[in-house]
Structure 1
């Protein structure tokens, strides 16, 4: 009998890193339920909740960000970084890891370097169109690199799409529409707008929706407003915002329900969101994050070019935009259907299985893979 694989997976911070990491872990377990998987993250990211909920062990190491300006923290960086590499190495040794999978984020660089020191194969998935620093470092010596988009510049990269868990990868938007609406508090046949700024929320998007709520309500649009953790939207009296047909929640655990329920979604163009919108076939208005290195606009480009989404600059997502572009679109079922079909044509649902096969085949565990996983 072949010995089960022992794989350490690394990544964290936001759901955009954690979700694809867990999806690949699910695919490894689907191929061989005896696969031993240990996740490495930090104590401050969403992984502290999401990884155990998915059924995987989480171990943590210190977060070592690069200081942006000369400071005492910059002087301490070498010692902290060496300590993080040592801690990562101890986890690799303790688990008897045979391979490392990383998806980016602060935690990954120490894990990659500890694996290299032990001559363990490193596999990388890059979610964004513009690669992050950790994955740029790791890709130099990786045994395999998968990306969600073209043009990352990572050596040896293969475009595989975005790993996503089975409840999104296999969803049937039309069949799930009505039960999803009921579950999320949306009723009847009125057009449904779902708004999300991601797990952390987006204050500017929230502000525009709050300011434009009267015109959305007057137009008969029902709104599910996913505001982000700790970002409850208040009215002038300091009470949670309310209006006919409007519901706000801080977070939705089952985003497949949100994709199914929405006639149109407004969202940031994080890599995971863009790829999940495509697989679901949900038409969208994408508002790229206005800070960073511009990766969110790049993430959106293929979906927009295909006709599956519109893109609007953060500064231009105003109540005027709601009136001139968003509301007319919500009133046009044919246009929404065409956008949904165009989005669906861009979707790739098997990235998790492709990455799992990459790891298994490299370690001599080739075998049949399920075409889609169902999550843990």
Structure 2
């Protein structure tokens, strides 16, 4: 019976929403099987070139395969791009002696699924869909997958709903215990109710403009603000003497401390954002992206329906609306506490390990490994 070290390839490059759950799964696999070898697939232009090595995993680059949403000249080049990427991915799978491919969608998932099914490299595939509406790559991968998981119901896949795999630094976060340290780290008022504002790694202009314009009324209401505006943006807010500070930063390196410092968030509703914010029990005002297929609104709905947040459409987010929503929430401890409990109730703190066991089961079915 084969007892060589387990080799797992994760495919989830491009955005943090694809990479972070892949890395959380990698961490869980290593906890269950310390001898396992995990290799990440990515592209030269994705965030994975920074995030993957920082977490201690090997990264192999493959040509990206962006899937056009509409008919265009890019669609004509798609077959060649797929073929080239599948060839390179197949080389990687053979090189690392892969036992299983775990895909999370994105530019490298489709070639990984196809390469894993080819004669000579045939191996089980496990798919995880993060969004409320599955993408094309995961729809293709799910057709012949050994197991399919989803973060939320209604993805369009025949999937086991397990939640989003998250870092243990998030799922084990004790916000109350870290609050004093977190507020000191960012230079926030230690006692004032605090609003966290972030629009993803690049920020969000509509969030930046609306909240910055509400800075005066928020300060006069005794509310502090921690605002990550994005590295390419700026926020110019005049301090209000004697009131809690408005702290603006380009990027949050320590999201765990940002969550701990905050009592309420205003944020987008990408799948990863919703999963993290709900997992730590942080009430939120979700502002879905105004374009795309509406999946961001669908991502936030389960949390909102349970009472853990509210949805405000991007076009409706004005300074007046921010003040109208935020001030009553942050001055009502009882309502915030109820929202926090509701938000945490929708989370899945053990999704990383659940998915890891699904992966190990898929491998055991082909090579007889014990978990």
Q: TM-score, normalised by structure 2?
A: 0.93
Equivalent in the alignment of 1:213: 215
Give the C-alpha shift of residue 96 in structure 1. 0.7
**Deviates most, 100-109 or 207-216:** 207-216
What secondary structure sits across from 1:363 in the alignment? helix
CA deviations on 1:286-341 (whole Å, 9 max, x unpaired) are 11111111111111111101111111111111112122221111111111111111
Residues 1:331 and 2:310 are matched in the alignment? no
How far apart in 2 are the matches of 1:268 and 1:354?
A: 27
RMSD, matched Cα = 1.5
Give the C-alpha shift of residue 232 in structure 1. 2.5
Equivalent in the alignment of 2:353: 353
What secondary structure sits across from 1:51 in the alignment? helix
Equivalent in the alignment of 1:108: 109
Equivalent in the alignment of 1:87: 88
Instruction: Please tell me whether the aligned partners of residues 357 and 366 of structure 1 are also in contact (alpha carbons under 8 angstroms).
Output: no
CA deviations on 1:36-78 (whole Å, 9 max, x unpaired) are 1110011111111001101001111112223456655433322
What secondary structure sits across from 2:102 in the alignment? strand
What secondary structure sits across from 1:223 in the alignment? strand
Instruction: Please tell me whether the aligned partners of residues 194 and 224 of structure 2 are also in contact (alpha carbons under 8 angstroms).
Output: yes
Q: Where do 1:122-141 residues align within 5 Å? A: 122-141=125-144
Residues 1:53 and 2:49 are matched in the alignment? no
What secondary structure sits across from 1:85 in the alignment? helix
CA deviations on 1:217-252 (whole Å, 9 max, x unpaired) are 22221111011232233x4xxxxx453411111221
How far apart in 1 are the matches of 2:335 and 2:157?
A: 37
Q: Where do 1:12-27 residues align within 5 Å? A: 12-27=13-28
Instruction: Please tell me whether the aligned partners of residues 197 and 205 of structure 1 are also in contact (alpha carbons under 8 angstroms).
Output: yes
Q: How many residues align?
A: 360
How far apart in 2 are the matches of 1:15 and 1:242?
A: 32
Instruction: Please tell me whether the aligned partners of residues 14 and 199 of structure 1 are also in contact (alpha carbons under 8 angstroms).
Output: no
**Structure 2 runs not aligned, ≥5 long:** none
CA deviations on 1:96-143 (whole Å, 9 max, x unpaired) are 101001111011101110011122111111111111111011001111
How far apart in 2 are the matches of 1:81 and 1:261?
A: 45
Equivalent in the alignment of 1:65: 66
**Structure 1 runs not aligned, ≥5 long:** 236-240, 368-376
How far apart in 1 are the matches of 2:258 and 2:318?
A: 23
